[in-house]
């Protein structure tokens, strides 16, 4: 009998109120049942939120350096278990072991970075208008946060949200993607062992339409942090706005890599292969558009095609595998749908465009690395997020046209330019409409000490990672202390003050 994984509510691992379970299967081998997971609903959400609200009253009073000690222990536990956690993640998500190790490493980095904020959480001390008076600002926790995360980075992205939430004094109800619940269970087990008190972190697995909606609409949930599709994010934003809840949205991308005529083409190809087909293209920062100067187009395309067509597809547990499966059959169907759209629109298919079904690959949701050329900026494959191993090559006649094509998108998450010209590189940093710009590097590979997020329909303006994430999980309070012993009226009694 397959192992059953329960909900974590108020410090206890419990079955769902309904007693129902859902399956989690290996996308590289659908015959491999990873486990059965408790199927939560609104009743479980109620129990989790009540526990989180009760725990908040004591957790917010724990000194931040003491909260940081728990995060440091969690980081060390993640380090100790990195390989086992990575293997579990590969089995349920599909990406190769090098990438799942990187996913866990990002959670480790975030744990230690967030713990460092336990002795910072800076505010401002500023001059005030009146004598014998001082003014400063402090950060205060918000309350109970709903954390809703996707399947493509099932440990890194929860860490981006949960660790900062905790260091700031908030409590959390965590709803992970139903395609990757095991990594969420593993993450919460680490927090439990690290010493997070009961009710501070709660885990409710289940569908977005039941668990996610109940969380969002619960009156005691003060904020939500969501990473996922723009369509779902827009609906969450509308509900959060109506209910006046704190809301942080990190959504889609259609990320461009510009290759100018003076670029190191071998380096640009390395970036395109990694950015386009790493994680099977299932990243919000994936390189889905490559905009190449016409003088470099032929040489770049030839080298890129040669590299991509030789990528080894297979089970991510095999060290020789370079690209794993799509996460589900539905995701592979979406990729196929967009490949058909590209062909119907008149783009030229250079390689891929089909399922990989030979041998053991028939057991999973594999799709070949796919490259289109002769792609116009107005084509759907150049405008809509596919979230799969599909890359479009577009022609540009100049730097200016390349920038214009890159910016002609409703998204603005990550961007990249390959050039040896420092002037054009700096102009691109200024001109590209994106939250992240890489020079001579791919569009993927963000680090935790810099802000992560985008512009336009990529989100609602918040940033994750770095110290900037603290603005999501804290409220600012301004403090005035008057030690004059008399009434002093700002803006009124300041006229004529001599400083005596």
Query: Which residues are identified as catalytic?
Result: 250, 284
Q: Give the chain's largest Cα–Cα span.
A: 88
- First CA to last CA distance, the chain: 82
10 Å Cβ neighbour count for 468? 15
Q: Is 131 helix (H, G, I), strand (E, B) or coil?
A: coil
Distance CA 225, CA 203 (A): 15
- Those residues whose C-beta lies under 8 Å from the C-beta of residue 67, and which sit 6 or more positions away, are 59, 118, 166, 167, 169
Please say whether the beta carbons of 36 and 60 come within 8 A.
no
User: HSE of 85 in the Cβ direction (CA atoms, 13 Å)?
Assistant: 29
- Exposed (0-12), middle (13-18) or buried (19+): which is 60, by Cβ within 10 Å? middle
Task: Please tell me the total number of residues recorded for the chain in this structure.
Answer: 500
CA dihedral 434, 332, 235, 160 (to 10 degrees): -60
Distance CA 182, CA 178 (A): 9
- Those residues whose C-beta lies under 8 Å from the C-beta of residue 56, and which sit 6 or more positions away, are 141, 143, 144, 169, 170, 171
Please say whether the beta carbons of 240 and 248 come within 8 A.
no
Q: Is 406 helix (H, G, I), strand (E, B) or coil?
A: helix
Distances (CA, A) of 41 to 44, 46, 175, 177, 183: 5, 9, 11, 14, 20
Beta-sheet strand order (sheet of 4-5): 4-5, 29-38, 21-26
Which residues pair with residue 455 across a beta bridge? 412
Q: Is 7 helix (H, G, I), strand (E, B) or coil?
A: strand
Beta-sheet strand order (sheet of 414-418): 348-351, 370-373, 390-396, 287-293, 255-259, 414-418, 436-439
Nearest to 190 by CA among 101, 81, 106: 81
């Amino acid at each position: 009998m397959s192992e059953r994984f329960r909900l974590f509510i108020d410090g206890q691992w419990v079955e769902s109120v309904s007693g129902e379970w859902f399956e989690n299967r290996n996308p590289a081998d659908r015959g491999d049942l990873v486990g059965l997971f408790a199927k939560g609903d609104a009743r479980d959400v109620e129990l989790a939120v009540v526990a989180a609200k009760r725990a908040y009253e004591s957790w917010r009073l724990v000194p931040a350096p003491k909260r940081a000690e728990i995060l440091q222990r969690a980081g060390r536990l993640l380090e100790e278990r990195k390989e086992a956690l990575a293997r579990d993640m590969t089995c349920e998500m599909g990406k190769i072991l090098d990438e799942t190790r990187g996913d866990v490493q990002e959670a480790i980095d975030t744990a230690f970075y967030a713990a460092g904020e336990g002795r910072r959480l800076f505010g401002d001390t500023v001059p005030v208008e009146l004598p014998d008076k001082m003014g400063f600002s402090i950060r205060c926790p918000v309350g109970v946060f709903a954390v809703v995360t996707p399947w493509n980075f099932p440990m890194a992205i929860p860490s981006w949200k949960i660790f900062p939430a905790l260091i700031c004094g908030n409590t959390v109800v965590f709803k992970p993607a139903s395609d990757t619940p095991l990594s969420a269970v593993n993450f919460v087990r680490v927090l439990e062992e690290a010493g997070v008190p009961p009710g501070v972190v709660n885990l409710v697995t289940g569908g977005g339409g039941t668990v996610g909606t109940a969380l969002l609409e619960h009156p005691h949930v003060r904020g939500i942090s969501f990473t996922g599709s723009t369509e779902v994010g827009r609906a969450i934003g509308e509900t959060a706005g109506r209910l006046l809840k704190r809301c942080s949205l990190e959504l889609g991308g259609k990320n461009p890599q510009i290759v100018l005529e003076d670029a190191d083409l071998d380096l640009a190809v390395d970036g395109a292969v990694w950015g386009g087909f790493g994680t099977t293209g299932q990243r919000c920062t994936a390189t889905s558009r490559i905009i190449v100067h016409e003088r470099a187009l032929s040489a770049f395309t030839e080298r890129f095609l040669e590299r991509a067509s030789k990528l080894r597809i297979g089970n991510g547990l095999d060290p020789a595998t370079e690209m794993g499966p799509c996460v589900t059959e539905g995701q592979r169907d979406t990729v196929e749908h967009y490949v058909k759209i590209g062909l119907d629109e008149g783009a030229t298919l250079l390689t891929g465009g089909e399922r990989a079904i030979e041998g053991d690959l028939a057991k999973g949701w594999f799709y070949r690395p796919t490259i289109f050329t002769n792609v116009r900026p107005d084509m759907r494959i150049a405008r809509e997020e596919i979230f799969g191993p599909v890359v479009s090559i577009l022609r540009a006649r100049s730097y200016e046209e390349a920038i214009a094509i890159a910016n002609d998108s409703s998204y603005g998450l990550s961007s990249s330019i390959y050039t040896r010209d420092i002037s054009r590189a700096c102009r691109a940093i200024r001109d590209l409409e994106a939250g992240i710009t890489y020079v001579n590097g791919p569009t993927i590979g963000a680090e935790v000490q810099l802000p992560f997020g985008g512009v336009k329909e990529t989100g609602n303006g918040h940033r994750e990672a770095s110290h900037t994430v603290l603005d999501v999980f804290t409220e600012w309070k301004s403090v005035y202390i008057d030690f004059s012993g008399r009434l002093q009226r700002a803006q009124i009694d300041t006229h004529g003050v001599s400083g005596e």
